[in-house]
Amino acid sequence: MESSAVPTPLFAAVRDTDASPCETLSEPLSQVMTLLGKRWTGVVWGTLMQGPVYFSDLKRSIPGINDRILNERLVELVALGLATRTVIDDRPIRVRYALTERGSAIRPALDELARWAVEHLR
């Protein structure tokens, strides 16, 4: 089955101030690399790929992350529409996070990146 979507190029040609050609990452790729490059973002995102999880369980599953950083990363993922935040009105109140369809859509790319890393970085 062919996709009708136009592929986004990895690199976009640009010209610097001296008008010499150079290559730069395309804007969408640059954005995702910046997001994944933030400390803990990839780990949090990857952990959420395993399914919905409560904040406290998520914190326990990521050794070394503190509450403030975990909360910042989750707030960012929610703000970008990549994850949802659901408050469970219980005693004590619990907060559950889950990836949206958009947030889960990166999985094939991350799987390929992981395969590449195993093959080339070991």
pLDDT digits (tens, 9 = 90+) for 17-54: 554 555 666 788 888 888 999 999 999 999 999 999 99
Total of domains in the chain? 1
78 pLDDT above the threshold of 80: yes
CATH number of the domain bearing residue 115: 1.10.10.10
| Residue 60 falls inside a structural domain | yes
Q: Establish whether the linkage from the previous residue to 92 is cis, with ω within 30° of 0.
A: yes
Domain that holds residue 59: 38-120
Average pLDDT for the chain? 87
% residues pLDDT > 70 (the chain): 80
Q: What CA–CA distances, in Å, run from 3 to 22, 44, 54, 87, 107?
A: 30, 30, 36, 38, 18
Residue 26 forms part of a structural domain: no
Would the pTM count as exceeding 0.75? Answer: yes
Compute the distance between CA of residue 110 and CA of residue 122 in angstroms, rounded to an integer.
17
